[in-house]
């Protein structure tokens, strides 16, 4: 009897310890607050309730830069999370940290079907061999937002063709003549008007396939195509047709308030514009220069991806794989896409959204998807992989401000940005050797 | 006659100063030593590898004309912040010193801004001067002035100087007021009886007797402008437009935490360390001579 009890007790202890072990904890650090933070929490909760083996613990670590810095500091202290959210410009930094990250395709194992992910979304995060190093999480692409009421007030047909910059230029003239204070503004000037501009016109932003083929890349955005565009924008700025509001998305406030007629901004601006705009607005594809390209290539993404950190246990990696697989499932992706305006990462999620009738109910929400996926990406339109790129964007911002203020011409400003940016690329090359 | 306490032996005095020495060593010498050591390397962000470059980081920095231009920006910014914050504080302190009724309320109200964190102060000023929705911008617009610190370098500098000096005025005000109240009334009254007007009394009695306070504030305000104005600049201009408000300490942040270039960032910290030490030595050696204790 005594014997039986002790066996029972021992097995009970074993069972309870197994139950405790069964709940492997997966740490996930992200950069989302507000509505996006709630939606991430919802995804995590759904995953945690869907199975009993793993518990994902999501923690907000500040904005994109702060989250990356928190991840780096934690790695140096040996306390890194399992999953770290890193914005797209931090991709080269993460890739270069060979001993700090575990590529997603390795974590996911043999049965991982990479072909279901949309090429131009995952392309930003793949190795030269086409293997996914991180999982795209939130991706958006720049589009042209139009205030239809403003066009009408100025006596312009709101359905007028705005697919080329040539056409936009003449509309800006008309808006200016009609006395509109803010014919056009932009958010994220480097991302929209240089990075995406280059991909969209199939011209290199940097050598070595925009840095995909090695860290010995050099910036190349001072070629005639980009100079012509920045030069035109500079003239518009001088004439009061393009109003510069700031380096980030400050221009969004002006557009949402109904002051500006045209606005180049991320497709993910949808939630905010839809909530605040008290005018008839519309999404159009990003314009291109007919003089530079007969038809546009694809645009590239912005946003963040999820990186798996090195140095965790085998069970945790299995949990990470299960969670990433869950995030990629069509239902979860379609919901995320519809709730946030971010692009779906798999084509299945896009098809599901279409079949649910979301695009019909919300016209224009599919423009970004079409613009990204209409053409197979080229070496110039796969994305950017440049070290210290967050800081290079800062340099580009400074030089573009000189053009908008009329202090420099476009060629001089872009030459200077290339020269200064190259110095940072050489530092990065040396650091990651 | 000087008062002096003497200890027998060395252990007790050593024990008494030990906490201070330890704190200085842990929180000052150790990090400073680390910065000096790291400035000799180009490390990768994750600490996986480090490459010895000797003085390479310093060569890289000093050959960069944008870094050299940042010295001038920093000098202009620090001088403006110090002069504005001390000037206004002295003026307010003189007024408050002459108050008879309600001086406590005035004092408390004037001290309030000091409790506002620099980054929050930055956001407050940014809202007032926002080029589209700012209240001040709107009133300036009515007067026919088109405020645009997003593209105008002079306006951007003016805005960060005012925002940085604003919270500091309270701090300086406190010290100036205490300094003014410590000046014996009898001396001032005697001068007044002799027929000295306010301005003469200020120049010949108040200013010299206030000089230790002024000197102390000069030192701490310059150090403040060098190191603690980061939050204001970060929230208002991020160093722009172009590089108009990129002061040295902002570049340390930008290279270290935006560019993940810890080698360059460490080298800049070392340069800042040297500059501030030099400034403090100069101040104590040359300006302190003119201070009357």
Residue A380 inside a domain? The answer is no
Look at residues B41, B169, B38, B172 and name the one whose alpha carbon lies nearest to residue B113: B169
Q: Give the pLDDT band (50/70/90) at residue A242.
A: very high
Nearest to A254 among B46, B132, B238 (CB): B132
- Poorest-confidence range of A17-31, A39-53, A186-200, A210-224? A17-31
d(CA B224, CA B230): 10
Whether the CB of B119 is below 8 Å from some CB of chain A: the reply is: no
Structure tokens at B90: 């002295």
Q: Within a domain: residue A72?
A: yes
The answer to whether the CB atoms of A427 and B264 lie below 8 A apart is: yes
pLDDT in the model for residue B49: 87
**Are A135 and A146 contained in the same domain?**
no
Residues in chain A within 8 Å Cβ distance of B255: 391
Return d(Cα A408, Cα A396) in angstroms, integer: 13
pLDDT the model gives residue A22: 59
* Residue B241 with chain A: CB contacts under 8 Å: 398, 401, 405
Q: Is residue A3 very low, low, confident or very high in pLDDT (cuts 50, 70, 90)?
A: low
CATH 1.10.3720.10 is the classification of domain B57-290: yes
Residue A20's pLDDT band, with cuts at 50, 70 and 90, is: very low
Which has the higher per-residue pLDDT, B122 or A264?
A: A264
* Count of domains observed in chain A: 2
Is A309 within a domain? yes
Answer yes or no: do A259 and A278 share one domain. yes
**Rounded distance between C-alpha atoms, residue A56 and residue A324, angstroms:** 11
The alpha helices in A23-147, defined as continuous H runs, are 34-50, 64-76, 91-96, 104-108, 119-122
Task: Considering only the beta carbons, identify the residue of A96, A253, A394 that sits closest to B258.
Answer: A394
**Range(s) of the domain holding residue A122:** 24-140+302-373
pLDDT tens-digit profile of B14-65?
999 999 999 999 999 999 999 999 999 999 889 888 899 999 999 999 999 9
Which of A99, A257, A428 comes nearest B48 by C-beta? A99
Residue numbers in B near A404 (CB within 8 A) = 151
Nearest to B201 by CA among B215, B182, B213, B185: B185
Q: Does residue B71 sit at the A interface (CB-CB below 8 Å)?
A: no
Pick from A213, A210, A216: which is nearest to A198 by CA? A210
The pTM score is 0.88
Indicate if A47 and A162 belong to the same structural domain.
Answer: no
Residue A30 binned pLDDT confidence (cut-offs 50, 70, 90): very high
Q: Other C-beta atoms within 10 Å of A11: how many?
A: 10
The answer to whether B34 faces chain A, any CB pair under 8 Å, is no
A276 and A212 in a common domain: yes
Chain B hits for A427, CB-CB cut-off 8 Å, are: 42, 60, 261, 263-264
Domain ranges of chain B: 57-290
Per-residue pLDDT, averaged over A114-124, amounts to 89
Task: Note the pLDDT of residue A127.
Answer: 87
**Burial classification of residue B21, based on how many CB atoms lie within 10 Å of its CB (0-12 exposed, 13-18 middle, 19 or more buried):** exposed
| Tokens found for residue B252 | 């340390």
CA nearest to A78 within chain B: B46
Chain B nearest-CA distance from A400, in A, is: 8
Same-domain status, A293 and A307: no
Question: What's the rounded Cα separation, in Å, for the pair B181 and B185?
Answer: 8
Residue contact A394–B238, C-beta within 8 A: yes
Q: Enumerate residues 6+ apart whose C-beta is below 8 A from A433.
A: B49, B51
Q: How many Cα atoms are found within 13 Å in the side-chain-facing hemisphere of A66?
A: 8
Among residues B241, B154, B245, the alpha carbon closest in space to that of A398 is found at: B241
**pLDDT of A17 higher than 50:** no
Residues A277 and A391 in one domain: yes
Tell me whether B261 touches chain A (CB under 8 Å).
yes
- Please indicate if any CB of chain B lies within 8 Å of the CB of A76: yes
Say what the pLDDT of residue A223 is.
Answer: 97
Residue A244 to residue B255, Cβ atoms within 8 A:
no
Shared-domain flag, residues A136 and A148: no
How would you label B207-220 residue by residue, b for 16+ Cβ within 10 Å and e otherwise? eebbbebbbebbbb
Cα–Cα dist B258/A390, whole Å: 6
In-domain check, residue A177 = yes
Picking from B66, B131, B242, the nearest residue to A245 by CB comes out as: B131
* pLDDT for the residue numbered B2: 55
- A244 and A354 belong to one structural domain: no
E strand intervals along A168-294: 182-186, 242-243, 260-266, 281-284
What is the average pLDDT value for chain A, to the nearest integer? 91
CB contact under 8 A, B238 and A247: yes
- Domain assignment present for residue A37? The answer is yes
pLDDT for A14 equals 45
Tell me the CATH number at A322: 3.40.190.10
Q: What is the pLDDT of residues A139-170, one digit of tens each?
A: 999 999 999 999 999 999 999 999 999 999 99
Q: Which of B151, B238, B261 sits opposite A388 (nearest CB)?
A: B261
A186 shares a domain with A119: no
Structural domain contains residue A267:
yes
Nearest CA in chain B to A63: B258
Residues of chain A neighbouring B151 (CB-CB closer than 8 A): 244, 401, 404-405
* Percent with pLDDT over 70 in chain A: 95
A74, A132, B194, B226, B268 from A390: Cα distances, Å:
20, 22, 67, 25, 19
| Closest chain A residue by Cα to residue B61 | A423
Burial string for A301-312 (b: 16+ CB within 10 Å, else e) reads bbbbbbbbbbeb
Q: For the residues of B218-248, what is the DSSP string, one character each?
A: HHHHHHHHHHTTHHHHHHHTTT-STTTT--H
Query: Among B46, B257, B261, whose Cβ lies nearest the Cβ of A76?
Result: B46
Does A398 sit within 8 Å of B240, measured CB to CB?
A: yes
Q: What is the pLDDT of residues A311-364, one digit of tens each?
A: 999 999 999 999 999 999 999 999 999 988 899 999 999 999 999 999 998 888
Those of residues 253-292 in A touching chain B at CB distance below 8 A are: 253-254, 257, 259
Instruction: Determine whether the interchain pair B243/A96 forms a contact, defined as Cβ–Cβ distance below 8 Å.
Output: no
pLDDT tens profile B147-158: 999 999 999 999
Q: With a cut of 50, which residues of chain B have pLDDT below it? A: 1
Do A94 and A212 have their domain in common?
no
Of A4-18, A106-120, A189-203, B202-216, which one has max mean pLDDT?
A189-203
Helix orientation angle between B262-282 and B30-38, rounded to the nearest 10 degrees: 130
Judge whether A28 is closer than 8 Å to chain B, CB to CB: no
Looking at the fold, whether A133 and A54 belong to one and the same domain comes out as yes
Q: Which residue of A has its CA nearest to B67?
A: A420
The pLDDT score that the predictor gives to residue B133 is: 82
Look at residue B257 in the predicted model and tell me its pLDDT: 87
Rounded Cα gap, residues B127 and B134, in angstroms: 5
Cα–Cα distance, B160 to B228 (Å, whole number) = 12
Q: Does B154 touch chain A (CB under 8 A)?
A: no
Mean pLDDT of A113-136: 90
Which candidate from B46, B255, B259 shows the least CB-CB separation from A100?
B46
Q: What is the pLDDT of residues A296-313, one digit of tens each?
A: 999 999 999 999 999 999
Closest-CA residue of chain A to B46: A72
- Which of A166-170, A201-205, A397-401, B251-255 has the lowest average pLDDT? B251-255
In a domain, A401, yes or no: yes
What string of H, E and C letters represents the secondary structure of A325-360?
A: HHHHCHHHHHHHHHHHCCCCCEHHHHHHHHHCCHHH
User: Are B258 and A427 an interchain contact pair (Cβ–Cβ within 8 Å)?
Assistant: no
Which residues, including other chains, have CB under 8 Å from residue A9's CB and lie 6 or more apart? none
pLDDT greater than 50 at residue A1: no
- Do both A291 and A414 map to the same domain? yes
Interface of B with A in 167-226 (CB under 8 A): none
Count of residues in chain A: 433
Residue A15's pLDDT band, with cuts at 50, 70 and 90, is very low
Evaluate whether residue A381 is within a structural domain: no
- For chains A and B, what is the number of CB pairs under 8 angstroms? 92
- CB pair distance less than 8 Å for B46 and A246: no
């Amino acid at each position: 009897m005594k014997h039986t009890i002790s066996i029972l007790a021992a097995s009970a202890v074993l069972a309870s310890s197994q139950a405790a072990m069964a709940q492997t904890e997966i740490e996930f650090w992200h950069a989302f607050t507000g509505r996006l933070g709630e939606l991430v929490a919802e995804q995590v909760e759904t995953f945690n309730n869907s199975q009993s083996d793993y518990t994902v613990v999501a923690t907000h670590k500040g904005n994109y830069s702060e989250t990356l810095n928190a991840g780096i500091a934690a790695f140096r202290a040996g306390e890194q999370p399992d999953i770290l959210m890193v914005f797209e410009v931090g991709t080269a930094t993460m890739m270069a940290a060979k001993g700090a990250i575990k590529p997603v395709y390795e974590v996911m194992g043999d049965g991982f079907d990479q072909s279901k992910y949309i090429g131009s979304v995952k392309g930003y995060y793949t190795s030269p061999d086409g293997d996914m190093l991180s999982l795209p999480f939130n991706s958006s692409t720049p589009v042209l937002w139009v205030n239809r009421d403003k066009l009408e007030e100025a006596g312009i047909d709101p359905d007028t063709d705005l697919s080329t910059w040539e056409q936009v230029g003449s509309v800006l003239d008309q808006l200016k003549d009609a006395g509109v204070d803010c014919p056009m503004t932009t958010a994220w000037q480097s991302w929209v008007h240089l990075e995406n501009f280059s991909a969209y016109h199939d011209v290199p932003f940097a050598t070595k396939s925009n840095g995909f083929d090695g860290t010995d890349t050099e910036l190349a955005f001072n070629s005639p195509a980009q100079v012509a565009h920045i030069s035109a924008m500079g003239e518009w700025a001088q004439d009061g047709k393009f109003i510069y509001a700031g380096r980030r998305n400050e221009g969004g406030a002006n557009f949402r308030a109904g002051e500006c007629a045209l606005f180049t901004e991320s497709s993910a601006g949808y939630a905010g514009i839809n909530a605040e705009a008290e005018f008839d607005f519309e999404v159009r594809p990003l314009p291109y220069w007919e003089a530079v390209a007969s038809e546009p290539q694809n645009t590239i993404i912005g946003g963040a991806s999820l990186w798996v950190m090195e140095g965790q246990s085998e069970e945790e990696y299995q949990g990470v794989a299960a969670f990433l697989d869950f995030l990629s499932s069509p239902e979860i992706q379609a919901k995320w896409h519809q709730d946030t305006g971010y692009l779906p990462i798999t084509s299945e999620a896009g098809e599901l959204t279409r079949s649910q009738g979301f695009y019909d109910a919300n016209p224009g929400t599919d423009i970004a998807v079409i613009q990204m996926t209409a053409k197979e990406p080229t070496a110039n339109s796969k994305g950017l992989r440049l070290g210290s790129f967050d800081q290079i964007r800062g340099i580009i911002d400074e030089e573009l401000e000189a053009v908008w203020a009329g202090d420099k011409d476009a060629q001089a400003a872009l030459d200077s940005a290339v020269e200064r940016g190259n110095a940072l690329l050489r530092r990065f090359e040396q650091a990651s050797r | 006659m000087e008062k002096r306490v003497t200890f027998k032996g060395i252990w007790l005095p050593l024990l008494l100063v030990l906490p201070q020495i330890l704190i200085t060593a842990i929180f000052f010498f150790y990090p400073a030593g680390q910065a000096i050591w790291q400035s000799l390397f180009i490390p990768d962000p994750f600490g996986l590898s480090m490459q010895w470059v000797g003085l390479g980081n310093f060569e890289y920095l000093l050959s960069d004309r944008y870094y050299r231009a940042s010295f001038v920006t920093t000098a202009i910014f620090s001088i403006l912040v110090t002069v504005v914050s001390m000037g206004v504080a002295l003026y307010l302190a003189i007024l408050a010193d002459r108050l008879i009724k309600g001086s406590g309320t005035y004092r408390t109200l004037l001290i309030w801004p000091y409790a506002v964190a620099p980054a929050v102060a930055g956001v407050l000023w940014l809202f007032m001067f926002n080029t589209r929705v700012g209240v001040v911008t709107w009133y300036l617009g009515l007067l026919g002035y088109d405020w645009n610190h997003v593209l105008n370098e002079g306006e951007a500098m003016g805005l960060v100087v005012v925002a940085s000096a604003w919270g500091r005025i309270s701090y300086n005000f406190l010290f100036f007021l205490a300094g003014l109240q410590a000046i014996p009334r009898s001396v001032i009254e005697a001068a007044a009886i002799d027929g000295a007007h306010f301005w003469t009394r200020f120049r010949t009695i108040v200013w010299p007797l206030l000089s230790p306070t002024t000197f102390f504030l000069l030192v701490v305000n310059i150090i403040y402008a060098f190191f603690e104005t980061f939050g204001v600049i970060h929230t208002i201009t991020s160093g722009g437009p172009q590089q108009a408000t990129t002061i040295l300490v902002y570049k340390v942040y930008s290279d270290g935490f935006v560019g993940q270039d810890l080698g360059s960032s460490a080298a800049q910290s070392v340069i800042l360390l040297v500059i501030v030490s030099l400034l403090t030595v100069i101040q104590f050696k040359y300006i302190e001579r003119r201070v009357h204790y």
